[in-house]
Chain A
Amino acid sequence: MHIVVCLKQVIDPEITPKYFKIDPETNRPDKSDTDLVLDSFAENALELAIQLRDKIPGATVTALCLGDDESEEVLRRALAFTANAVVRVWDEEWENLDGQAVGHILAQTIKSLGGVQLVLTGYQASDIEEGLVGPVMAEELGIPCVTLVSDLEVEENSAKATVEVEGGYAVVSVPSPAVFTIISSETNVPRLPKVKDIRLARSKPIVLLESEDLNLDHERCQPGVKLERAYVLKKEVACEVLPGNDGAELASELADRLFALKVI
């Protein structure tokens, strides 16, 4: 069984707001103060992919990333998680792709890799959060897509997915191959890779595919949206810090304030 997981490199979503700036020239975040990391839901998807592989004899995991050479870091991370193979796709012309174009290119890449049973993505990338790549790939590949999946159980020709629904959870069954967009849950918390695996990851090969290696539709590689302007909004509220020397005093002060505001 072949499991493909799609990994995006993003600027650290947990950056302290005070250090977050947008460069008005490029409309992109100022990278000087930030780290690049593996997208957080994609990391949950990677963890799930590895867990599934380890349960299924003979299964393999391929991690895919569309990105420049800097983004090889996320593939090294996938190798440290013990992914079996990693593939990077890139072309200089792909600076300003949107989720739809990425979905097309990744779908064509998956076709070029041969058969696949499960395709896992994060549900929304932690930078622009388009939430498009998974469903777009499914449409391109002509296979089902289940979104907001927190867990998966794989069977011979189908998979059972635990999904978030209004007011609770549901388990649904779909025939495979299928695409699943993954959310975080207590069962897919990313592992801490072993030191040995991190070391081994450094020397493993990263396959590079370029646009001519894939059967791409030029139209579909053009972004459908164009970012005209990006800006940081400062939304600061004046905070009244309550006086008090200990918990009891503060609690009493807080209770009084809440009554005065008539919120309780």
Chain B
Amino acid sequence: MSRILVFANQQGTGLSSGAKEALAFGSRLASSTGGEVRSVTFGPFAEAGAKEAIASGASIAYTISNPLLTEYDVELFVNSIQTVFQQSGADILILSFDKMGKDLVGRLATRNCASAITEVVDFHTSNDKPTWIRPIYGDKAYGEYTTTRSKVVVGIRQKSQELAVIDEKAVGEIIPIDYSPSEEMIVTKLVVKIQSALSDIRLEDASIIVSGGRGVGGPEGFNDLQTLAKLLGGTLGASRAACDAGWVPSNLQVGQTGAVVAPDLYIAVGISGASQHLAGITNAKTVVAINTDPEAPIYKRANIGVVADYKTVIPALTEKLKKVLV
């Protein structure tokens, strides 16, 4: 039997998407190991988060409602999670391996002499002991890992889990934890925050994405892709090669190290289809590839292939669609 603690971080008053995934994963794990799930939420809205966590499967929801924990700070969060992890007596701590998780997992594991396993997408169990499954080598392979220490800190890959069914009637106990992190712990100070206004629709939420790679050849080509994306009511994406070249801002990057997207339509233009790029479009429904090289690996993922120079296809496509759509 395992005792599982999930860090249920909030975005505003609701749980973050990562937290929902972590709870779903925790609940699934609990039912196959015969364990139970507890959660921890922070800040002035902690109680709302705790209720949502209970509806998502937690039997005990810890809260630390200290206002210092409203905004994310790595030191405050490490110390606060650490306090609850110890008090709960949990042996498995689950976090989303989102931007915050990338700060937290290694530090919490080290602090607890626990094993650490990141980018986990699944597990199987034998004798109630989990084996953790995660992609390795840029999503070219999968690895199955066991852990060697009595405690483990697990980071769940973003967008890898089906969300838990919400049961508003579920009962659970909310336990406030008496812990006050001190302001002196804060070492990272925010200087400025720049919200990027470059794309109107978040890549993660887009239902149509027109994405360009090195084959687009320069920033000018991206104007044509942008026109097509706009026409379709979609948004622009890019490969890392195009972002690194400075042709488009790096927040347009799709893939393992960029956005993980799940559109109904993904049009990959001049993108070869490296495994790290494909890792970002696993959940795309229809993938169209436009590429001059019929051997490009993107054709192993695409549903529809157009083997041609994009410069001859995109303007013609845009013209044709304009007639029908506008």
> Looking at the complex, which of B37-45, B49-57, B169-177, B301-309 is the stretch in contact with chain A?
B301-309
Partner of B99, one of A164, A229, A259: A164
Q: Which residue of B lies closest to A175 (CB)?
A: B187
Q: How far is the CA of A247 from the CA of B297 in the complex (A)?
A: 22
Contact-size category for A: 35 or more
Q: Assuming A13-B138, A255-B320, is B106 touching A139 (CB within 8 A)?
A: yes
- Of A175, A219, A224, A259, which is in contact with the most chain B CB atoms at under 10 Å from its CB? A224
Q: Is the CB of A239 within 8 A of B299?
A: yes
Q: Is the CB of B304 within 8 A of A145?
A: no
Q: Is the CB of B302 within 8 A of A134?
A: no
The answer to the question of A92 belonging to the interface, with a C-beta cut-off of 8 Å to chain B, is no
Chain B residues with CB below 8 A from A130, complex form:
116, 118-119
Q: Is the CB of A242 within 8 A of B306?
A: yes
B129 to A: closest C-beta gap in Å = 11
Contact-size category for B: 35 or more
Contact with B along A114-141 (1 / 0, CB 8 A): 0000000001101111111111101110
Q: Assuming A135-B106, A140-B110, A232-B141, is B312 touching A246 (CB within 8 A)?
A: yes
Q: Is the CB of B250 within 8 A of A185?
A: yes
Majority DSSP secondary structure for residues of B touching A = mixed
Tell me the number of A-to-B contacts counted with CB atoms below 8 Å.
Answer: 268
Chain A residues with CB below 8 A from B106, complex form:
99-100, 103, 131-136, 139
Q: Is the CB of B300 within 8 A of A236?
A: yes
Q: Is the CB of A247 within 8 A of B313?
A: yes
> Looking at the complex, which of A14-22, A54-62, A70-78, A81-89 is the stretch in contact with chain B?
A14-22
The answer to the question of A204 belonging to the interface, with a C-beta cut-off of 8 Å to chain B, is no
> Looking at the complex, which of B22-30, B61-69, B88-96, B143-151 is the stretch in contact with chain A?
B143-151
Those of A1-55 within 8 Å (CB) of chain B: 11, 13-18, 20, 22, 27, 29
Q: Assuming A148-B99, A232-B141, is B300 touching A224 (CB within 8 A)?
A: no
Q: Is the CB of A225 within 8 A of B148?
A: yes
The answer to the question of A207 belonging to the interface, with a C-beta cut-off of 8 Å to chain B, is no
The answer to the question of A200 belonging to the interface, with a C-beta cut-off of 8 Å to chain B, is no
B222 to A: closest C-beta gap in Å = 14
Chain B residues with CB below 8 A from A230, complex form:
136, 141-144
Q: How far is the CA of A241 from the CA of B295 in the complex (A)?
A: 12
Partner of B140, one of A17, A135, A247: A17
Chain A residues with CB below 8 A from B261, complex form:
none
Q: How far is the CA of A138 from the CA of B300 in the complex (A)?
A: 41
Chain A residues with CB below 8 A from B300, complex form:
17, 235-237, 239
Q: Assuming A103-B106, A222-B148, is B299 touching A13 (CB within 8 A)?
A: no
Q: How far is the CA of A239 from the CA of B304 in the complex (A)?
A: 5
Q: How far is the CA of A27 from the CA of B144 in the complex (A)?
A: 10
The answer to the question of A251 belonging to the interface, with a C-beta cut-off of 8 Å to chain B, is yes
Q: Is the CB of B316 within 8 A of A252?
A: yes
- 18 more CB-based (< 8 A) A-B contacts, given A128-B136, A235-B301, A240-B303: A128-B143, A131-B118, A139-B111, A145-B74, A148-B102, A169-B193, A170-B194, A172-B190, A225-B147, A229-B143, A236-B301, A239-B304, A241-B299, A241-B306, A247-B312, A247-B315, A250-B308, A251-B317
7 tightest A-B CB contacts, nearest first: A247-B312, A224-B115, A135-B106, A251-B316, A251-B317, A186-B246, A139-B110
Give residues in B with beta carbon < 8 Å to A: 74-75, 97, 99, 102-107, 109-111, 113-119, 131-132, 135-138, 140-149, 152, 155, 187-196, 202, 208, 232, 240, 243-246, 250-251, 256-257, 264-265, 274-276, 278, 285-289, 294, 297, 299-309, 311-317, 319-321, 324-325
